[in-house]
């Protein structure tokens, strides 16, 4: 079993912000691969989609169950949903992929990392603390830094993406899909 978590903030107010780019990407991945659709779970306050993904390379089992999760808590509380789902299904940290934005990457960069430093990402630190390890996968996508050094980063990541920024991210979609495939084949 694998778990892929797209981090973001709930609500229309945040829908097109830098922090929420992964809600858009995870929706696109699930739709373009005909995996299913997300449904809201009132009990846990998350959106979830469960699918069977063909293994690559194919094995005797043929498919693997994958949970796609969008925590409907704010970004800094997303660890709660991740921890609950992983505990309930006994998913190991090595089978977790967290998709998140990163202002420290150069424009146009998307990276898959395993067990790397967590930098300033407090919500990633919270996930690692609750899991007792930082040995899980992450895909990071650039969202650039604020243009002005005095501009607050926390406010900046909650600004809406401009049309050209959305287009640049969409241009990276096939690379993102390939990185997700790399995670699933591990």
- CA–CA gap between residue 186 and residue 184 (Å, rounded): 6
Asked whether 2 and 97 are in contact (CB, 8 A), the reply is: yes
Helices of type H across 51-98: 78-89
Catalytic residue among 19, 100, 121, 148: 19
- Helix 173-185 × helix 21-32 angle, to 10°: 70
55 CB-near residues (< 8 Å, 6+ apart)? 61, 62, 63, 64, 184, 185
**Which class for 160: exposed (0-12), middle (13-18), buried (19 or more C-beta within 10 A)?**
middle
Q: What angle do CA 71, 20, 149 make, to 5 degrees?
A: 125
Q: Which residues contact 59 (CB under 8 A, 6 or more apart)?
A: none
Confirm whether 148 is a catalytic residue.
Answer: no
Catalytic residues: 19
């Amino acid at each position: 079993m694998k778990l892929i978590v797209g981090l973001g903030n709930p609500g229309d107010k945040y829908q097109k912000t830098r922090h929420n780019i992964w809600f858009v990407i995870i929706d696109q991945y699930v739709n373009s691969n005909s995996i299913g659709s997300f449904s809201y779970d009132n009990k846990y306050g998350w959106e979830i989609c469960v699918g069977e993904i063909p293994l690559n390379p194919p094995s005797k089992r043929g498919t693997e169950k994958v949970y796609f999760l969008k925590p409907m808590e704010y970004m800094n509380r997303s660890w709660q949903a991740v921890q609950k789902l992983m505990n309930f299904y006994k998913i190991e940290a090595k089978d977790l992929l967290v998709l998140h934005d990163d202002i420290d990457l150069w424009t146009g960069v998307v990276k898959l990392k395993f067990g790397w430093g967590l930098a300033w990402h407090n919500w990633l630190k919270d996930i690692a603390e609750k899991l007792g390890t930082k040995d899980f996968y992450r895909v990071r996508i650039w969202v650039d830094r604020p243009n002005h050094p005095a501009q607050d980063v926390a406010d900046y990541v909650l600004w809406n993406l401009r049309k050209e920024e959305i287009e640049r991210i969409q241009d990276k979609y096939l690379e993102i899909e390939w990185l997700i495939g790399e995670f699933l084949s591990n």
